[in-house]
Amino acid sequence: MRRILWMLMVLSSMTSAFAQNALNVLTPISYVEGVAPPDKVKAECSVESYLQTALETNLSKKNVVTFTNTAPPAGRLLRVQILNIDAVGGGGWTGAKSLSIRVELSADGTVMRKTAFTRSSRGGFGGAFVGTCSMLNRAAEALGKDVAKWMADPRYSAQDVVEEPASAPAQAPQAPAASTPTLPLN
């Protein structure tokens, strides 16, 4: 009998922990009102699906993720919207491509916190030969990781990753050591 009670207690605690980590992600991922991607990017790249796949991959590591097209009345809801896509055709030959998103976490209908992330890609090794869609996919993958880190730590900012360390201050030139006397040349 004790064993059964103990198992029921363990199962009930697991169920509440499971429910606490449940996260609903609102889909489809939309654009902020007034924002439209470049026509070629919209026609050829599936930025929204890249982003959804990246979110699913990274958020499901620590949360029970459900993608839904309606906001549930209770529970945690993550809403992701695309703020900007800076990309023109031509792949790496036309420079870096960037993707900006706004992320909003609400619980039981109340917004708990929100932030924005921007990631860019130059295509990595051989970047000049990588297409625009592949570069945006790389940015979406990085954003998926950023959102997962932000969910785990509200203080996380993508700038923690992007910023380069400050370069060391330039040192003033030093006078040569006077170890040997110089002789005049006649």
Reported as a single tens digit per residue, the pLDDT across 84-114 is 988 876 655 566 788 999 999 999 989 999 9
Average pLDDT, integer, range 19-26: 77
Q: Report percent pLDDT > 70 for the chain.
A: 65
> Is residue 66 within 8 Å of residue 56, measured between CB atoms?
no
Q: Does residue 12 form part of some domain? A: no
Instruction: Supply 175's token pair.
Output: 């006078």
Peptide bond into 165 cis (omega under 30): no
Structure confidence at residue 181 (pLDDT): 46
CATH number of the domain encompassing residue 88: 3.40.50.10610
Q: What is the pLDDT of residue 72?
A: 82
**Which domain range does residue 107 map to?**
21-156
Smallest CA-to-CA distance from 19 within 60, 79, 64 is with 64
**DSSP reduced 3-state for 108:** coil
**pLDDT at res. 68:** 86
Q: What is the mean pLDDT of residues 27-34?
A: 90
**Widest CA span in the chain:** 109
Identify the H or E element spanning 185: none
Residue 149 lies in a domain: yes
pTM check: above 0.85: no
User: Which pLDDT score, from 0 to 100, does residue 14 have?
Assistant: 44
What is the C-alpha separation between 69 and 52, in angstroms, rounded? 13
Q: What is the mean pLDDT of the chain?
A: 75
User: Taking residues 49-55, what's their average pLDDT?
Assistant: 93
Model confidence at 38, pLDDT cuts 50, 70, 90, reads confident
* Range with top average pLDDT, 9-13, 19-23, 117-121, 158-162: 117-121
- Residue 134: predicted pLDDT: 87
What is the total count of domains within the chain? Answer: 1
**6 falls within a domain:** no
Residue 159 parent element (H or E): helix 159-162
Residue 121 lies in a domain: yes
In a domain, residue 163? The reply is no
Query: CB burial class (10 A; 0-12, 13-18, 19+) of residue 180?
Result: exposed
Is 2 inside any structural domain? no
Mean pLDDT of 141-158: 88
Q: Which is more confident, 178 or 159?
A: 159
- Which has more pLDDT, 19 or 34? 34
| One-letter amino acid for residue 102 of the chain | R
Name the H helices within 21-73. Answer: 39-44, 47-59
Contact 101, 141 (CB under 8 A): no
